[in-house]
A and B are shown apart, each in its own frame.
Chain A
Amino acid sequence: MTSFQSTLGEEEGIADELAASQREISIAEFFEKNKHMLGFDSGARGLVTAVKEAVDNALDACEEAGIPPDIYVEIREAGDYYRLVVEDNGPGITREQLPKVFGKLLYGSRFHAREQSRGQQGIGISAAVLYSQLTSGKPAKITSRPKGESQAQYFELIIDTDSNEPEIKADEPTSWDRSHGTRIEVEMEANMRARAQLHDYIKHTAVVNPHARLELREPGTEEPLKFERGTDQLPAETSEIRPHPHGVELGTLIKMLESTESYSVSGFLQEEFTRVGKKTADKVLDAFRDRYFGREMAWATPDSLDAEAVVTAAVSGKGSDATETFAGRVAEALDSAGRLAHHELVRLVADAAETAQESTGKTFGDTVRANTVDAVWTGMTAARVDAAGRRVDADDDAEADDAESVLRAPLVALVDDATSSQKDDAVVTGLAERLAADVAGLDDSRHRLTRARLDRLVDDAADRMVEFDEVTFGDTARENVADALWTRMATVPDDVPNVSEVAGDRDTASSLLEAMRGTDILAPPTDCLAPITAELVEAGLRKEYDADFYAAATRDAEVHGGDPFIVEAGIAYGGDLPAEGQVDLLRFANRVPLVYQRGACATTDVVKSIGWRNYGLDQPGGSGMPNGPAVIMVHVASTNVPFTSESKDALANIPAIEDEIELAIREAARELKSYLNKRRSMQKRREKQDVLGRILPEMADKVSAVCGRDRPDIDGALARIMNNVSVEREYDEGAVRLVVENHSDRTEELDVTDIVSVEPADVPDDAEVVDLDGEWFVKWTPSVSGGDEAVLEYRVSDSDDAEFDVNVDGVETEKLTVNA
């Protein structure tokens, strides 16, 4: 260290020398060094990221224009490189904007908008362009045809890495078979090692965008992967919102204060923030006053105060009648007033002066009013009283020794209320007396204190007491006392500083920010968000996964840092999903699948922290990823999704968001649980049915053998054992009887369709006959309560050839015994 310093001292001009090597870093150079941050750390991953960025942009563009997206992705080998083509049917990009959109990093429409969208920073697609240009040296070829244009425009672009500006290599009109849309073609150094991730990305995109049609062509496969549309319903249009008062940082606030056109803070708040009207603005301002000016302590008028006498003494030269009237008014008002802070007393005296003025004609000016206020305030707060509460004059030596501050009694009561019952009287009075002395000794005789000063005051008093009285007075007790005092204090009516004053002083701005954060304000509106909705989450899963069971849940919007967010979860279970190994976790943010860094994602942490055994999934060790044939998907939609890095692969661990993720997953998981429970009980029922279905016939055979009688009919017994619903046919020379017996303990609604080969007759009113090409469908929907039976009777004309085939719905097959 020393040697280095001596070098510094010896050689002059080192700063100049250093300055010579200090220069601006171009954004492109920065990118080159930090490719990994943007998801371009390897050829395999770069390809996936490029596809992802291009597809995200395409989806955003289509949705904004209200067009159901139709997106074509093609990857082809091109010599040593890979050529990536992404085409959409979006609204197209104007000739002026296009070069910047693709050829300039950090250019975009999304960064400043509080609205849910896939892209946020304006890095993605231009980063892909930059990556291809850096690896293959070839320009990006972009064709775009804005809706309504007769021709498309073709560009070849590279990014000037020094200036971060697009360099246009070609710009010419061209013809294109799409009526509108954008096509981008880039060549890059890449490989297909991340094919699985690529497929995941495309497939998962299809899951959360059931309104989109996707097609992927890639080398090595004959047929393209196609994902058809599952719904025509586009996601709800989102609207941009102003920032929420809970979500701004100090720097942002100051910037907003500097640029606003409002003069007053109230106007500023209502103008620039969402969810702030007059009422909320007033609440924020009061909170701001508390922080900026402090509050004033309010005291009750003590019995010892002879208001009339005190006021009379303070007024001079107004004549005895007028003085008496004024003093009477003041005393009266004091009587009916509760606790008063200094500013309230000022107003009270002013009111009394006005009324006295009206009735007496004498003017009670500022001086009189000020004297009166001082005299009364002194009587209220600075007087000394004896044990009986009588005022003691300072010059009355005989009694002055035992006299106490007039503030002592109310403070004792307050401290006693605020502390636990275990504090004995000596401690309570000890603290109250010290507080009384401290308050009386305040520089500001109005007893005006900020919360911080109040805390210090209580702390000081408590510290001294601990030191001298050798008692304990803990932090909680101190806080309680300070809280009790603070609630008793009154917000002052002083005018708050205007916008430019707040903007000009960092501390003041900080007080305003605290006030904004400390005020309860309605959560931001959610029309800036477009959740997939539980219904479409399920539809998406259904479309891409062949499972037995699907559940989905969408939570209500919540706020994190002023940005609203909505969490949705879906679960698919069983069917063709692989039963071995861990469940599949699909993570989404603003409808974009997250395919990398699963382990670093808050979503993964939440899934691992849930006790899945409760929900019927296998979970080795009771924590971690569950096992089984299931897919769990989580979608977080927000105006500002907190990612762990720019490559947007993993959600950051924000407690508010994690809580919602957990609740959403649990909501869907509860449905899974009841499904699995039911399935299990059905399985047990099936097993029981299997075993009994074997045992009882054997028993019947044996019984008939032992008794030497015909084999008994055991269907009735079987149905009853299984709490079953049995449907039985009796047929006698053209008379058909279908008997439904419900042996369960609840009502069953059945759909019985008897398909008859000849025309039925005498069909009762509660059944319906449909003639279908020589077959007659007798439809009957009986409701049979537990333990009851229902009968359908009809006749068939030709009893010899009649064939019957009964089909029963509405009852689970496990519970149904059909013998007809």
Chain B
Amino acid sequence: MLILHCPYCGRDVDETDLHPGGEAHLKRVGPDADAEAFEQYLFMRENPKGVHFERWRHAYGCGKWFLAARNTATLQVYGTYSAQTTEPPHDIMNAIKEAQA
């Protein structure tokens, strides 16, 4: 079972208490954006075989969204962090570098 640390509750949470929310750090496009930008925002996904930044909601807990860095080829979790970020923080990037070294 996947276990993620909820950065808001400070608790390790089982997958069954969480709801997955797909790729993180998507930039929402404005109402005047063209069809290609909407396609990119709504449907095109990185879907990497490797490090994936993704959204999770602590659905049966505090109810808050947070973000996780996880490897889709090994299922290793590098860490979780606040959803109030536009890119992965340094400590997460360092953890990924360390794990891949």
Q: Do A and B bind each other?
A: no
